[in-house]
Amino acid sequence: MNTPRKHAIRPATLEAIVEAAVRVLNANAGATMSEIAVQAGVGRATLHRHFRTRDDLVSAIGIRCVEEMNAAVRAQATAGQPAVDRLRSMFRAVIPLGDRYSFLGTDYTDDPKVREGYATQLHWAEALVEDLKDQGDVARDVPSPWVVAQIDQLVWTAWNAIAEGYLSVDAATDLAVRTLTEGLR
């Protein structure tokens, strides 16, 4: 029989910590663990029982970000749909997540699970790029890694444009698709 850990953290407490960390780090990417603990309504000891370091906490958030992005993309994927429509659906699903996770661009995480999840996203994007090329939406002579990098950058650019308040999610989605497909013909 499994015995509970002496100081097992409750799921609600864990969720409060992660949500507080997302809010605090979005407001101040350099926030300390103490600031996060205060916003989560927990003591530093409770915070450190689950996340020994700030890097551990950021890695956990990075994993959550990748999982949410992958789930959003999978939910939008429709078999038989034209590649440009899948691209638009991907942007429309992923761009709204910028409100939650844009701070990750300023904080590097080297967690293998984050790298693995990101690799999954890149493989999906590579397959999409090949379909975009086959359907004439992107020129065949443009290297696929270049197009994948542009998709990645367009997501970050859209996140920033929305955060700065000069584009809506819909406008950023439309502009990202337009930039990619019309700019690379």
Mean pLDDT of the chain: 84
The pLDDT > 90 percentage for the chain reads 34
- DSSP assignment of 28-72 equals -TT--HHHHHHHHT--HHHHHHH-SSHHHHHHHHHHHHHHHHHHH
Sort 147 into a burial class: Cβ within 10 Å, 0-12 / 13-18 / 19+: buried
pTM for this model (two decimals): 0.75
Residue 76 is predicted with a pLDDT of: 67
Once rounded to an integer, what is the mean pLDDT over residues 91-110?
74
Mean pLDDT of 135-148: 93
Mean pLDDT of 70-93: 83
Considering the chain, what percentage of its residues have pLDDT values greater than 70?
89
- The pLDDT of residue 71 is 83
Average pLDDT for 90-101: 84
Task: Indicate whether 6 pLDDT > 60.
Answer: no
Domains in the chain, start-ordered, CATH in brackets? 1-52 (1.10.10), 60-183 (1.10.357.10)
How high is the pLDDT of residue 177?
93
